[in-house]
């Protein structure tokens, strides 16, 4: 069997995007650590886009908006609306020119016939002898009076009149008709609308010109009706008299409904839709009908506004003439009035600057595209401000504007929040979006991975002690049994000891000295309180982010690898308070938090660690400044900067109490100055603790590495 082949290619945006909840949460983690609200963080992610696990990028709202803008500009710079009316006028001119050529040929034939024996009479009409003989193929375009003349004589009046040729009387009538048509054509008005109206009463001699004129009138009629009703936009020739009759009835019934709505009523459109629902596909009530009317009427309105005043008037006159029916024109005008009263028209002039000419039907379709692009643009901008409005974006309009690929990316972008909810990372609490405990563990895991990325070679996660004891996890090696050892018998080693002592053979007799038991590694238990400075100075230089990342990483480390260890967080500013595990991910620093009350923080840490006698107990202090606050006897915080001597004394007293309780103090100074260094040096010497000077980018590495090293100490 031949091995399957594989092809690799650069990501071009068309491949399927493999993005799951973990990918999304991974890219939200930094924003959430910075204290952003989950909904706001999702909004920023939706704006900027995200990257899939294979490196492919899901475009953000900014990218999609830019594609919509480009699609709009591309259409504006390609098309020319100025030719819409010109093309209609030129089509009419070509019809008239063709008809004029045919008429002139008939006149010429009537005046130059070899059978002519008479001169023209006083009124300029040709005598029978001067009439020409039209070809037999032109009989189809001969008007009725010419047909009557053709039947005036059943036999030739002279030898020249052979069977099948027009009689002199017929030739005379044809010449007279042709000259009359010529006079009508010469008298046509200059204005296009008036010319159309005059030609409606004109009887064409040229069959092709007649067919073209009929087609032109159908196009104009359908454009006029199609500007109100989408279903009237059908192919040329399908607008039958029966359909026009139904349209008249529908417009009158719709006007009655809208008049009732305008008078403050709430009309039921069910009967109307039962009779005329095919004009409004999908509509279920009067609001749906008005929505469809708005879409169609806005297209024609935008087209009119995009034309010059003269072109606008000329097109309106042409469509008015094409409708023909005065009653229908009045009803449609009334319908337009009701529409303007009930719904504010949303039309605009588009500054087209291209060279690609468009016909009337194409121009109306283009107006629909431009309206869809503008609507998609507005909806996307609303979604940029509030991601909850992404559900209101019409993806079908977006698909028509920028294509299937971009619309699909938007749909994936819109579903990000739901993906996180389905994975159990987000939940709705009233109007708020909150992270779940599972999400916070995931974020902590990421913070831990980021911090330990440069420490993997050091195996900082190895938490076994150098001592071997009698309790703990079983090791792989064994030792001779001693009284008091757990009896984790190493059977293989025991039998080998007996065989070595007695030699090979059966039965094997065991002696107490033969017994071997597995060694056990002694594991320690630790209780840690992380004291985080929440004063406003931590906001600057990335200190707050580093401290929060550290907190999440420590929490993830202890919960995941050391579940027997205890870990607590105490936040301190003017006062201190213990933070629950679920609230750690939502820690936020404020400009209003003045003061660094480390004394109160140490007091709470000592109370918390007092619950864990016999364990390794430590307090990890993360701060960027010396203590500037302490509690008065009344319980109110006292703040002064530079620090008051009593604040320093109160803090050192609490540090000394912690040391007497067996709590080790480790202080990490971030962006510290001389005052902080002096105080920490004094406190460290007093309690035999440790102090580190770090920067925000290395804080997590130093603290976590020290944490795992501290756990290696054996407690007797």
Condensed to tens digits (0 to 9), the pLDDT of residues 23-56 reads: 788 778 777 766 677 877 888 888 888 876 666 7
User: Which has more confidence, 572 or 385?
Assistant: 572
- Which residue ranges does the chain devote to CATH 3.40.50.410? 526-711
**pLDDT at site 602:** 96
Give the model confidence (pLDDT) of 638-669 as tens digits.
999 888 999 999 999 999 999 999 998 988 88
Q: What is residue 433's three-state secondary structure? A: strand
User: What pLDDT does residue 508 have?
Assistant: 87
Handedness of CA 290, 293, 299, 300 (dihedral sign): negative
The H-or-E segment that residue 469 falls in is strand 468-469
d(C-alpha 108, C-alpha 128), whole Å: 14
Q: Which of 448, 330, 395, 476 is nearest to 68 (CA)?
A: 395
Tell me what pLDDT residue 524 has: 62
Pairing of the two strands 468-469 and 516-521: antiparallel
CATH H-level superfamily of 526-711: von Willebrand factor, type A domain (3.40.50.410)
Separation CA 312–CA 306 (nearest Å):
9
Yes or no: say if 668 and 620 are a contact pair by the CB < 8 Å rule.
yes
Q: Where are the beta strands (DSSP E) in 486-613?
A: 516-521, 526-533, 566-572, 576-579
| Residue the block writes with tokens 């082949």 | 5
290/648 Cα distance (integer angstroms): 75
Cα–Cα distance measured from residue 555 to residue 569, given in angstroms and rounded to the nearest whole number: 9
Please state the length of the chain: 716
How many Å apart are CA 56 and CA 182, to the nearest integer? 72
The owner of tokens 């993806």 is 395
| DSSP assigned state of 312 | H
Residues facing residue 623 across a β-bridge:
669
pLDDT tens profile 184-238: 888 888 888 888 888 888 888 889 999 998 888 887 877 777 666 655 555 444 5
The whole-angstrom separation of Cα 626 and Cα 642 is: 9
H-helix segments, 263-354: 270-276, 286-306, 309-323, 326-342
């Amino acid at each position: 069997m031949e091995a399957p082949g594989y092809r690799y290619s650069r990501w071009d945006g068309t491949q399927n995007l493999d993005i799951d909840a973990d990918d999304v949460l991974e890219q939200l983690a930094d924003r959430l650590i910075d204290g952003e609200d989950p909904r706001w963080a999702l909004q920023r992610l939706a704006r900027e886009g995200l990257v899939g696990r294979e490196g492919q990028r899901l475009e953000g709202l900014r990218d999609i908006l830019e594609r919509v803008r480009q699609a709009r500009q591309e259409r504006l710079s390609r098309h020319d609306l100025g030719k819409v009316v010109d093309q209609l006028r030129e089509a009419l001119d070509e019809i008239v020119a063709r008809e004029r050529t045919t008429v002139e040929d008939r006149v010429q034939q009537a005046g130059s016939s070899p059978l002519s024996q008479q001169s023209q009479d006083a009124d300029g009409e040709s005598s029978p002898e001067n009439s020409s003989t039209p070809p037999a193929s032109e009989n189809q375009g001969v008007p009725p009076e010419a047909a009557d003349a053709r039947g005036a004589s059943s036999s030739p009046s002279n030898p020249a009149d052979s069977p099948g040729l027009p009689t002199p009387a017929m030739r005379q009538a044809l010449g007279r008709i042709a000259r009359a048509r010529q006079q009508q054509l010469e008298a046509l008005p200059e204005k296009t609308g008036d010319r159309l109206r005059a030609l409606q009463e004109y009887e064409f001699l040229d069959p092709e010109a007649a067919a073209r004129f009929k087609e032109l009138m159908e196009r104009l009629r359908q454009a006029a009706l199609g500007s109100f009703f989408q279903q009237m936009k059908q192919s040329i020739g399908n607008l039958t008299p029966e359909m026009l009759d139904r349209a008249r009835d529908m417009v009158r019934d719709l006007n009655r409904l809208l008049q009732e709505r305008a008078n403050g009523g709430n009309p039921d459109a069910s009967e109307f839709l039962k009779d005329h629902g095919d004009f409004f596909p999908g509509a279920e009530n009067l609001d749906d009908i008005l929505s469809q009317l708005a879409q169609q009427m806005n297209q024609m309105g935008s087209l009119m506004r995009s034309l010059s005043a003269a072109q606008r008037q000329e097109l309106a006159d042409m469509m008015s003439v094409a409708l023909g029916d005065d009653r229908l024109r009045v009803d449609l005008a009334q319908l337009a009035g009701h529409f303007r009263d009930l719904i504010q028209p949303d039309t605009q002039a588009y500054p087209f600057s291209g060279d690609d000419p468009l016909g009337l039907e194409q121009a109306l379709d283009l107006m629909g595209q431009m309206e869809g692009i503008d609507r998609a643009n507005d909806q996307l901008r609303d979604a940029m401000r509030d991601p909850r409005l992404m559900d209101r974006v019409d993806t079908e309009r977006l698909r028509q504007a920028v294509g299937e690929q971009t619309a699909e990316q938007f749909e994936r972008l819109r579903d990000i929040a739901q993906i996180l909810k389905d994975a159990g990372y987000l939940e709705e609490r009233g109007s708020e979006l909150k992270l779940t405990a599972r999400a916070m563990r995931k974020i902590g895991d990421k913070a831990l991975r980021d911090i330990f990325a440069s420490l993997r070679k050091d195996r900082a996660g190895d938490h076994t002690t150098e001592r071997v004891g009698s309790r703990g996890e079983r090791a792989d090696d064994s030792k001779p049994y001693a009284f008091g050892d757990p009896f984790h018998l190493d059977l293989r080693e025991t039998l080998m000891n007996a065989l070595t002592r007695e030699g090979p053979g059966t039965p094997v007799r065991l002696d107490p000295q033969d017994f071997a038991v597995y060694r056990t590694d002694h594991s320690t238990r630790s209780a840690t309180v992380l004291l985080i400075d929440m004063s406003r100075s931590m906001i600057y230089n990335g200190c707050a982010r580093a401290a929060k990342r550290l907190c999440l990483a420590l929490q993830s480390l202890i919960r995941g690898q050391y579940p027997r260890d205890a870990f607590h967080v105490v936040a301190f500013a003017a006062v201190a308070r213990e933070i629950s595990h679920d609230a750690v991910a939502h820690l936020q620093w404020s400009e209003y938090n003045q003061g660094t009350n480390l004394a109160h923080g140490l007091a709470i840490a000592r109370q918390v660690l007092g619950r864990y006698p016999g364990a390794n107990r430590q307090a990890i202090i993360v701060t960027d400044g010396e203590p500037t606050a302490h509690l008065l006897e009344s319980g109110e915080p006292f703040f002064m900067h530079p620090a008051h001597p009593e604040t320093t004394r109160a803090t050192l007293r609490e540090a000394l109490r912690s040391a007497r309780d067996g709590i080790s103090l480790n202080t990490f100074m971030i962006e510290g100055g001389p005052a902080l260094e002096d105080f920490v040096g004094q406190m460290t010497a007093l309690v035999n603790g440790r102090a580190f000077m770090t920067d925000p980018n290395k804080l997590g590495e130093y603290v976590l590495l020290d944490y795992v090293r501290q756990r290696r100490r054996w407690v007797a």
